[in-house]
Structure 1
Amino acid sequence: MAMNKADGCLSAPGTSSLDAAVALFHSLSDSTRLAIVRRLADGEARVVDLIGELGLAQSTVSAHVACLRDCGLVIGRPEGRQMFYSLTRPELMDLLASAETLLAATGNTVALCPNYGTRARRVATIDNEESPR
């Protein structure tokens, strides 16, 4: 890790702290990954536990857990033939609590955002379904 002289933050060589923040928020931008993080805030879980609680396919859950693990937000603890996943940093829950406070303070107006809000996601989904493959 190298010290970024502009802001005093640690960052990987060749990346800025802004790049790292973008990657962090991008890793949390998927509803499935966010649901997994919220579930793991309650304690460790196996993929099979997450499948049952989230009602998603094993491949979907495994892919999202792998993404969170690759981002350093989740760690696996092997026990026999099973892997128990947990959050690597409790500060992640502080971040999510701050986000919930911000959403409450703004009346969830971010949901109206033309680029990332709920309507924009619906339009993008419809466009993808209607486009020829």
Structure 2
Amino acid sequence: MTNEAGTADGDRASELEALAPATCLFHSFSDPSRLVILQHLQLGEHRVVDLTEHLGLSQSTVSKHLAKLKDAGLVTSRPQGRASVYSLLHGEAVTQLFAAAEQLLALTGDHVALCPVHGKGAAAESN
């Protein structure tokens, strides 16, 4: 059976299945709190308590966000005493993705500053 575009339904299902990992990856960037967490992890390792203080969110909420980022293969953790310390697995790739997102957002007129060092948020914090 073919659909309106002339492709077989099985081809469409295969195409959607092939896109599932990308969908999961982009979904992990869909929450502002996760973006802020990724920005902070670009600067180096952080404990959950550090992230909760900065974000003003509960420990359980930050932990849930970190779990989603970990499931997506973006974040790793290591034990440090009774705490866990989180870091980016692919920091350079995340930085490149944020730079590409900035370029695209600038083209659409919705520029935001994703860079934790040079972005709008960093400038506000330094004042």
| 1:77 Cα deviation from its structure 2 partner | 1.4
Q: TM-score, normalised by structure 1?
A: 0.66
1:45 aligns with 2:32: no
Equivalent position of 2:74 in the other structure:
73
Q: TM-score, normalised by structure 2?
A: 0.69
Partner of 1:72, secondary structure, is coil
Equivalent position of 1:95 in the other structure:
97
Equivalent position of 2:10 in the other structure:
none
Question: 1:15-49 CA distances to partner (integer Å, 9 max, x unpaired)?
Answer: 51x22111110111011111111111111100000
The structure with more helix, counted as a fraction of residues: 2
Query: 2: distance between equivalents of 1:106 and 1:96?
Result: 15
Letter in 1 for 2:38: V
Q: How does 1:1-133 map to 2 (within 5 A)?
A: 15-16=17-18, 18-90=19-91, 91-108=93-110
| 1:55 Cα deviation from its structure 2 partner | 0.9
Question: 1:44-98 CA distances to partner (integer Å, 9 max, x unpaired)?
Answer: 1000000011111111111101111111110001122121100100201210111
After TM superposition, what 4+ stretches of structure 1 lie above 4 angstroms from structure 2?
A: none
Query: 2: distance between equivalents of 1:80 and 1:60?
Result: 21
Q: Larger RCO: Structure 1 or Structure 2 (Cα < 8 Å, ≥ 6 residues apart)?
A: 2
Letter in 2 for 1:46: R
> Structure 2: which 5+ residue stretches go unaligned?
1-16, 112-127
Query: 2: distance between equivalents of 1:106 and 1:69?
Result: 30
Question: 1:93-121 CA distances to partner (integer Å, 9 max, x unpaired)?
Answer: 21011101111122119xxxxxxxxxxxx
Letter in 2 for 1:21: A
Letter in 2 for 1:101: Q
